[in-house]
Chains A and B, each alone.
Chain A
Amino acid sequence: DTAVSQTPKYLVTQMGNDKSIKCEQNLGHDTMYWYKQDSKKFLKIMFSYNNKELIINETVPNRFSPKSPDKAHLNLHINSLELGDSAVYFCASSRDRVAYEQYFGPGTRLTVT
């Protein structure tokens, strides 16, 4: 009965590698998001998709590429990982594209060594 799920929960990798994080929601929501939470707990939006269409693309390096195969899934692929990419990445979903309440996944802790 998980609402928003992410895999993996932990990801440890070396600089220069490419990795992906997957997200799925079973709430029937139209909009999904990726957030990055840094070591100081600051939460910043990265991307948002509404019905598979990219609607928010914040100032994020091109190494980050989201992909939404359908409205229930939003994946995040990161190329050429850097030390500064270490953070917790959260997926979230909401009923529609307007800024109403969002449902968050459990997070993926990425550590780049």
Chain B
Amino acid sequence: SQQGEEDPQALSIQEGENATMNCSYKTSINNLQWYRQNSGRGLVHLILIRSNEREKHSGRLRVTLDTSKKSSSLLITASRAADTASYFCASGQGGSEKLVFGKGMKLTVNP
């Protein structure tokens, strides 16, 4: 079954604003990852947070993980037009080699 549901499914903001995307998953995980996909391109890994971590930062990205609620959020601060892309969360399931991707969320940053 599909795990990882991003919310909202589409978000349009102005350059300079912050963008927050949420992800929910269903089973226990080893880690939760976020990927970006520009139109017509492959996915690019952004950040990984392990199940025993609660928050992680990387540049303008901030990821939180709440394992009790089975949810994660990705915050992009001071967004840029170049951040326009689809964003996917992916859960690394406990005891499994595979990642389960969410449906993706389209972020549009207007200049």
Question: A: which residues have CB within 8 A of B?
Answer: 4, 31, 40-45, 48, 50, 55-56, 90, 92, 97-107
Contacts and interface: CB of A to CB of B under 8 A. Distances in A.
A97 B97 contact: yes
B25 interface: no
Given A90-B43, A98-B30, A107-B42, A56 B98 contact: yes
Nearest to B105: A41
Interface SS, B side: strand
Contacts of A41: 37, 86, 103-104
Interface residues of B, number: 25
Interface string B80-111: 00000010100011001111110110000000
Contacts, number: 61
Interface of B: 2, 30-31, 33, 35, 37, 40-45, 48, 86, 88, 92-93, 96-101, 103-104
The A interface is mostly helix, strand or loop, or mixed, namely strand
A37 to B, nearest CB: 9
B45 A43 contact: no
Contacts of A98: 30, 92, 97
A15 to B, nearest CB: 25
A104 B92 contact: no
B88 A55 contact: no
A5 to B, nearest CB: 10
Contact of B33 (A40, A42, A101): A101
Given A103-B45, A107-B41, A42 B92 contact: no
Contacts of B44: 104
A50 B48 CA distance: 21
